Amino acid sequence: MHGPVVVGWLLVALGAGTGLYCLTARPAGRDEAVMGLGMAAMAVPVSVLDPAPWGPPLFAVLFGAMAVRALLMARGQRRGPGHHAHHAVGAGAMAYMAVAMVPGGHAHAHTMGGVPLLTGMLLLYFTAYVLAAGVRLAAVPVAAGPATTVLRAPELAAACRVSMALGMCAMLLTL
């Protein structure tokens, strides 16, 4: 990732923590786990690990396939396709950032940060998502109980989604 090294490491910690939580505590959170771990891998500062030339194309294909899968799942649901649509936007944004990382790639032809209009639209989407989901999350009463119950609490899963969206905002800003 380009940008301040400390921001990169904070995003690595955020993505890895969220990805590992979704992988271990939420069996249904495979997509979120892949997104979190992928975010962590993409956020490693280039001074530590330069993934060129294999990294960006691999990330673009992986997240592009995830976006298509999420769109197909959203289309197939009659009620509540919003969750899958959000995953499609997130995976699409990750694929877009991977393409923007390719030196001399299409996104670099416009600016070093990708296509400004698309980057701005994604920033607006994730900012709105963080604000709306954060308000909903703040209104949820905290569940009390044993640690195993708390780790599986639905509000913790919602907090993970909010933190991932915040991470997306940070990655888009440092693009």
- Per-residue pLDDT tens over the stretch 116-139: 999 999 999 999 999 999 898 888
What per-residue confidence (pLDDT) applies to 104? Answer: 59
**170 near 7, Cβ under 8 Å?**
yes
With cut-offs at 50, 70 and 90, classify the pLDDT of residue 169.
very high
Residue 11 in tokens: 């995003």
Distance CA 12, CA 99 (A): 19
Q: At 60, which amino acid appears?
A: A
pTM for this model (two decimals): 0.82
